[in-house]
Structure 1
Amino acid sequence: MTKFGIGQPVTRSEDTRLLRGAGRYTDDVRVPGQKVGYVLRSPHAHAAILSMDTADAASMPGIHAIITATDLKQAGIKDIPCVVPLRVRAGTTLHMKHRPVLADGFVRHVGEPVAFIVADSLYEAMDAADAVMVDYDMLDAVADTGAALSHPAQVHGDVPANLAYDWEKGNRAATDDAFAKAARVVRLDLINNRLSANPLEGRACLADHDAGADVTRLTVGSQGVHDMRDMLAGVFGEDPARFHVLTHEVGGGFGMKLFCYPEYVLACFAARKVGAPVAWTSSRAEAFLSDDHGRDNVSVAELALDTDGRILGLRADIIANMGAYLSNYATYIQTDGQTKMLSGVYQIPAIYARVRGVYTHTQPVDAYRGAGRPEAAYLVERLIDKAAREIGQDPASFRRLNMIPPSAMPYRTPMGHIYDSGDFAGTLDAALERADRAGFPARRAKARAEGRLLGLGIATYIEACSGGAPEAAELLVKPDGSVLLLIGTQSNGQGHETAYKQLIAEVLGIAPEAIAMVQGDSQQVKTGGGTGGSRSIPTGGVAVREGAADVITQARPVAAKLLEADEGAIRFEVTGEGGGFAVAGSNRFVPFAEVAAAATPDGDGNVFRGTGKYSPPSNTFPNGTHVVEISVEIDTGVPRIERYTVVDDFGTVLNPLLLEGQVHGGIAQGMGQALLELIRFDTDSGQLLTGSFMDYAMPRADHLPMIDFSLRPVPCTTNPLGLKGAGEAGAIGACPAIINALVDALADHGVTHVDMPATAPVLWRLIHSATAANAA
Structure 2
Amino acid sequence: MIKNISDGLIGRPVSRKEDTRLLTGKGRFTDDFNLENQAYAVIVRSPYPHAVIKSIEIEIAQKMVGVLGVYTGEDCVLDGLSEIPHSPLPKTDNDLKLRAPDNKEVFIGPHMLLPCDKVRHVGEAIAIVIADNRNQALDAAETIQIDFEVLQFNLDGLKAANGEASPVWDELHSNTCIDATFGDVAETERIIAAAKHVVSAEFYVDRVTGVPIEPRAAIGSFDKETERYTIYAGSGGAVRQKHELAYVLGVLPEKVRILSYDVGGNFGTRNRVYVEFGLVAWAAKKIGRPVKYISDRSESFVSDYQGRDLYSKVQLALDENGSFLAMRADNISNVGARAVSFSPLGKGSALISGSYRIPVACIRARAVFTNTIPTQAYRSSGRPEVTYVIEQLIERAADQVGINVQKLKKINLITQQEMPYTNPIGLTYDSGDYHESVKLAKQIADWDAGDERREISKQKGKLRGIGFANYVESSIGSPVEQAEVYIKPDGIVELVIGTQPSGQGHETSFAQVAADWLGLSLDQIKIIIGDTDIVKIGGGSHSGRSMRMAGTVIVKACDEVIEKGQKLASQFLEASIADIEFSSGEFLVKGTDSKISLFEIASNLKKSKNGGFQSSDLDVVKSNEMHTPVVPNGCHICEVELDPETGEIEIVNYVAVDDVGRAINPMIVHGQTHGAIVQGLGQAMLERCANDLKNGQIISGSLMDYGIPRAGDVPHFNVELNEIYSPTNPLGIKAGGEGGTTSAPAVYMSAVIDALKVYDIRALTMPVTPHVIWQAIQNTKKFNS
TM-score w.r.t. length of structure 2:
0.95
Aligned counterpart in structure 1 of residue 326 of structure 2, from 303, 309, 313:
313
Does structure 1 residue 63 correspond to structure 2 residue 99?
A: no
- The worse-fitting range, judged by mean Cα deviation, of 623-632 and 73-82 is 73-82
Aligned counterpart in structure 1 of residue 13 of structure 2, from 1, 9, 13:
9
Matches within 5 A, 1:35-114: 35-85=39-89, 86-90=98-102, 94-114=106-126
Distance of aligned partners of 1:152 and 1:193 in 2 relative to their CA distance in 1, 3 Å threshold: closer
Does structure 1 conserve the Cα–Cα contact (< 8 Å) formed by 2:48 and 2:121?
Answer: yes
> Hey, what does 2:557 align to over in structure 1?
547
SS at match of 2:157: coil
CA distance, structure 2, for counterparts of residue 165 and residue 343 of structure 1: 21
Deviation at 1:510, TM superposition (A): 1.5
CA distance, structure 2, for counterparts of residue 613 and residue 686 of structure 1: 47
Deviation at 1:79, TM superposition (A): 2.0
Distance of aligned partners of 1:350 and 1:468 in 2 relative to their CA distance in 1, 3 Å threshold: farther
> Hey, what does 2:604 align to over in structure 1?
598
SS at match of 1:471: strand
SS at match of 1:629: strand
Give per-residue Cα distances to partners, 1:663-690, cap 9 Å, x unaligned.
Answer: 1000000010010100011112111010
Deviation at 1:714, TM superposition (A): 0.8
Does structure 1 conserve the Cα–Cα contact (< 8 Å) formed by 2:343 and 2:377?
Answer: no
Does structure 1 conserve the Cα–Cα contact (< 8 Å) formed by 2:324 and 2:412?
Answer: yes
Q: Specify the code of the residue in structure 1 equivalent to 2:342.
A: T
Q: Specify the code of the residue in structure 2 equivalent to 1:415.
A: I
Matches within 5 A, 1:526-537: 526-537=536-547
Distance of aligned partners of 1:48 and 1:608 in 2 relative to their CA distance in 1, 3 Å threshold: same
Does structure 1 conserve the Cα–Cα contact (< 8 Å) formed by 2:602 and 2:615?
Answer: no
Does structure 1 residue 263 correspond to structure 2 residue 271?
A: no
> Hey, what does 1:290 align to over in structure 2?
303
CA distance, structure 1, for counterparts of residue 294 and residue 670 of structure 2: 32
Give per-residue Cα distances to partners, 1:564-592, cap 9 Å, x unaligned.
Answer: 42121101113xxxx31222344544444
- The worse-fitting range, judged by mean Cα deviation, of 274-283 and 155-164 is 155-164
> Hey, what does 2:151 align to over in structure 1?
139
Distance of aligned partners of 1:365 and 1:601 in 2 relative to their CA distance in 1, 3 Å threshold: farther
Aligned counterpart in structure 1 of residue 344 of structure 2, from 328, 333, 339:
333
CA distance, structure 2, for counterparts of residue 89 and residue 174 of structure 1: 23
TM-score w.r.t. length of structure 1:
0.96
CA distance, structure 1, for counterparts of residue 246 and residue 305 of structure 2: 21
CA distance, structure 1, for counterparts of residue 577 and residue 102 of structure 2: 63
> Hey, what does 1:274 align to over in structure 2?
287
Does structure 1 conserve the Cα–Cα contact (< 8 Å) formed by 2:331 and 2:349?
Answer: no
Does structure 2 conserve the Cα–Cα contact (< 8 Å) formed by 1:486 and 1:517?
Answer: yes
> Hey, what does 1:638 align to over in structure 2?
648
Deviation at 1:413, TM superposition (A): 1.5
Does structure 1 conserve the Cα–Cα contact (< 8 Å) formed by 2:86 and 2:272?
Answer: no
Give per-residue Cα distances to partners, 1:610-642, cap 9 Å, x unaligned.
Answer: 233221240111100001101111111011111
CA distance, structure 1, for counterparts of residue 135 and residue 363 of structure 2: 51
- The worse-fitting range, judged by mean Cα deviation, of 477-486 and 672-681 is 477-486
CA distance, structure 2, for counterparts of residue 151 and residue 440 of structure 1: 48
Q: Specify the code of the residue in structure 1 equivalent to 2:55.
A: S
Matches within 5 A, 1:178-189: 178-189=191-202
SS at match of 1:160: coil
Does structure 1 conserve the Cα–Cα contact (< 8 Å) formed by 2:488 and 2:599?
Answer: no
> Hey, what does 1:18 align to over in structure 2?
22
CA distance, structure 2, for counterparts of residue 115 and residue 585 of structure 1: 74
Does structure 2 conserve the Cα–Cα contact (< 8 Å) formed by 1:142 and 1:684?
Answer: no
CA distance, structure 2, for counterparts of residue 602 and residue 119 of structure 1: 55
Give per-residue Cα distances to partners, 1:244-279, cap 9 Å, x unaligned.
Answer: 111011001000000111111111110111111111
Deviation at 1:548, TM superposition (A): 1.4
Deviation at 1:163, TM superposition (A): 2.3
> Hey, what does 1:714 align to over in structure 2?
724
SS at match of 2:214: coil
Aligned counterpart in structure 2 of residue 202 of structure 1, from 215, 218, 228:
215
Give per-residue Cα distances to partners, 1:271-304, cap 9 Å, x unaligned.
Answer: 1111111111111011001000000111111111
Does structure 1 residue 116 correspond to structure 2 residue 128?
A: yes
Give per-residue Cα distances to partners, 1:683-710, cap 9 Å, x unaligned.
Answer: 1211101000010001100111111111
> Hey, what does 2:693 align to over in structure 1?
683
Distance of aligned partners of 1:231 and 1:675 in 2 relative to their CA distance in 1, 3 Å threshold: same
> Hey, what does 2:92 align to over in structure 1?
none
Deviation at 1:432, TM superposition (A): 1.1
SS at match of 1:521: coil
Taking only the aligned residue pairs, the percentage that are identical comes to 36
Deviation at 1:191, TM superposition (A): 1.0
Give per-residue Cα distances to partners, 1:146-201, cap 9 Å, x unaligned.
Answer: 33334344422343342233222222111111211211111121111100100001
> Hey, what does 2:95 align to over in structure 1?
none
- The worse-fitting range, judged by mean Cα deviation, of 152-161 and 458-467 is 152-161
Does structure 2 conserve the Cα–Cα contact (< 8 Å) formed by 1:295 and 1:375?
Answer: yes
Does structure 1 conserve the Cα–Cα contact (< 8 Å) formed by 2:515 and 2:524?
Answer: no
CA distance, structure 1, for counterparts of residue 344 and residue 782 of structure 2: 42
Distance of aligned partners of 1:161 and 1:451 in 2 relative to their CA distance in 1, 3 Å threshold: farther
**Structure 1: which 5+ residue stretches go unaligned?**
none
- The worse-fitting range, judged by mean Cα deviation, of 143-152 and 258-267 is 143-152
Does structure 2 conserve the Cα–Cα contact (< 8 Å) formed by 1:569 and 1:583?
Answer: yes
SS at match of 2:270: helix
> Hey, what does 1:507 align to over in structure 2?
517
Matches within 5 A, 1:384-395: 384-395=394-405
Distance of aligned partners of 1:2 and 1:423 in 2 relative to their CA distance in 1, 3 Å threshold: closer
Matches within 5 A, 1:361-372: 361-372=371-382
RMSD: 1.8
Q: Specify the code of the residue in structure 2 equivalent to 1:181.
A: A
Does structure 1 conserve the Cα–Cα contact (< 8 Å) formed by 2:487 and 2:598?
Answer: no
SS at match of 1:201: coil
CA distance, structure 2, for counterparts of residue 56 and residue 89 of structure 1: 47
Q: Specify the code of the residue in structure 2 equivalent to 1:441.
A: D
Deviation at 1:467, TM superposition (A): 4.8
CA distance, structure 1, for counterparts of residue 759 and residue 615 of structure 2: 73
Give per-residue Cα distances to partners, 1:311-355, cap 9 Å, x unaligned.
Answer: 11111112211111111xx22321x21100112111111111112
Q: Specify the code of the residue in structure 1 equivalent to 2:128.
A: F
CA distance, structure 1, for counterparts of residue 689 and residue 173 of structure 2: 26
SS at match of 1:599: helix
Q: Specify the code of the residue in structure 1 equivalent to 2:510.
A: Y
Q: Specify the code of the residue in structure 1 equivalent to 2:423.
A: T
Distance of aligned partners of 1:602 and 1:63 in 2 relative to their CA distance in 1, 3 Å threshold: farther
Does structure 1 residue 724 correspond to structure 2 residue 734?
A: yes
**Structure 2: which 5+ residue stretches go unaligned?**
90-97
Does structure 1 residue 234 correspond to structure 2 residue 247?
A: yes
Distance of aligned partners of 1:661 and 1:169 in 2 relative to their CA distance in 1, 3 Å threshold: same
CA distance, structure 1, for counterparts of residue 733 and residue 282 of structure 2: 42
SS at match of 1:219: strand
Does structure 2 conserve the Cα–Cα contact (< 8 Å) formed by 1:377 and 1:733?
Answer: yes
- The worse-fitting range, judged by mean Cα deviation, of 613-622 and 739-748 is 613-622
CA distance, structure 1, for counterparts of residue 264 and residue 608 of structure 2: 37
CA distance, structure 2, for counterparts of residue 89 and residue 129 of structure 1: 42
Give per-residue Cα distances to partners, 1:356-407, cap 9 Å, x unaligned.
Answer: 2222111111110011121221111111222123222222221121122211
- The worse-fitting range, judged by mean Cα deviation, of 1-10 and 633-642 is 1-10
Q: Specify the code of the residue in structure 1 equivalent to 2:440.
A: A
Give per-residue Cα distances to partners, 1:735-760, cap 9 Å, x unaligned.
Answer: 10100111111112111111110000
Matches within 5 A, 1:579-618: 579-600=585-606, 608-618=618-628
Deviation at 1:491, TM superposition (A): 0.6
Does structure 1 conserve the Cα–Cα contact (< 8 Å) formed by 2:101 and 2:176?
Answer: no
Deviation at 1:93, TM superposition (A): 7.5
Does structure 1 conserve the Cα–Cα contact (< 8 Å) formed by 2:88 and 2:339?
Answer: no
